[in-house]
Amino acid sequence: MSAPTAADSTVAEKLVLECLSLSHIDGDSTELNDRAVFSCLFCNQTFDEKDNVQRHLVKEHKLVIADVNLISHFQRYLLYWKARFKEQPVEDFCSIILTNSGDKDEGPKDQYYLLSDVLSEDKSLRNFLQKKTLEDVLSIQQKERDDSLPARDCLFCREKLEGNRGLLFDHMAHDHGFNVGLPDNIVYKDEFLDLLQEQLSNLNCLYCEKTFRDRIVLKEHMRKKQHRKINPNNKVYDRFYMINYLELGKNWEAIQSEDDTAIDNDAESEKEEDYSDWEEVGAQAVCLYCEFSSSIPDKLHAHMQELHDLDLKEIKLRLNLNFYQQVKLINYIRRQVHLGICIGCQEKFEDRKALTDHMHEKGHTHVIPDLLAWDQPQYFFPTYENDNLLCQLEDDDNDQQMNQDGSTTSCHGNVTVIAEDNPVENTILTDEKLRREILMS
């Protein structure tokens, strides 16, 4: 991989090319405005969705942008690098990835460019955009704290409350048990309330998000099940909480887990140290076919083997897959499941449940297609960002498997090494008198 070279000019000097006012203020927000436009870095094509421009960059221009989900103002990010690429060649900024570069690789050789925060200029740009986002969100939060707005209906009763929207959130928390956190920690309050009202108007539970036949049944369900709260796993709500803007690449779950870890460490220091039941916890990896996740590789593999009859370790040994082929296979299965296509028969389904039901019924969950279908350069890149299942793979090319006859077989080849006894010659231990003296001493 070629090392990137940073340009001499600073990010601050280049950013005058485009005004970086907060997109929520100027109405150019990706999340809120359907007219959001993402420009290609090399040609004049534009796209209305982030995923489409990324797909275009990879397919047409062989460029991959790392950790897109951590970039604030992605449109501004693209505009900045579009201007920079006009000034200097892309090789000056990007790492180069060569595919099928080995002597035994049969596929076509390709060259991809990786734009990431390994480059100091890119890292400075990401930090600058994150800082601008935080500053603008803080200004909006302060404005909302001081606002006195017209009356608005409570989500759960007919009472109308005017003035600061924090009064409405306090009313719903105290009178209806609907607690979404401290109002001072919430931003874009009216948009948040609009989203919650839309969910309830569509007869959807705010927590489990199931749909009910009428409002009476919905209210009774939320009361009995204590579902008068929002779903913490729904990422749509993240933008309404200040905590998600504080640190680059960290949402409320990551920050809260750090706080909990500090508290737990303080508590444990007062007790006798006992690590008998301690398990190392890493990042959560998700099953290839369902929503089950685990930070422990053995648990995840056991789940896929028992519930879906998919044994990745057995497949690796049976097909003699190396590390990179394992990566491609997982990315291929992820992509097919995302598209609703069965990996065994290529039949397409409308939703995930219909697909998995079919695959279990036909026994297609463990049917691996021909090598040509998935051993392609495009599957070097993960279907989902931060796919921690890939991180759980072990690059054990040098590992060996012990056979019953004492021989060893390479996990990634068919070469068998048989142990044999080699006689030792010209040793002093052949002297009978010396051996007796050693045994008597």
Spatial CB neighbours of 381, under 8 Å, sequence gap ≥ 6: 58, 64, 331
pLDDT tens digit sequence for 168-213: 999 998 988 888 888 888 999 999 999 999 999 999 999 999 999 9
Q: What is the Cα–Cα distance from 419 to 417, expressed in whole angstroms?
A: 7
> Residue 34's pLDDT is what?
41
Q: Which distant-in-sequence residues (6+ apart) come within 8 Å of 76 by Cβ?
A: 18, 20, 129
State which residues of the chain have pLDDT below 50.
1-34, 275, 397-419
State the pTM of this model: 0.47
What pLDDT shows up at residue 24? Answer: 32
d(Cα 170, Cα 193) in Å, to the nearest integer?
A: 13
Confidence at residue 302, expressed as pLDDT on a 0 to 100 scale:
85
Give the Å distances, CA to CA, from 135 to 27, 204, 246, 307, 349.
17, 34, 10, 48, 45
Distance CA 91, CA 330 (A): 30
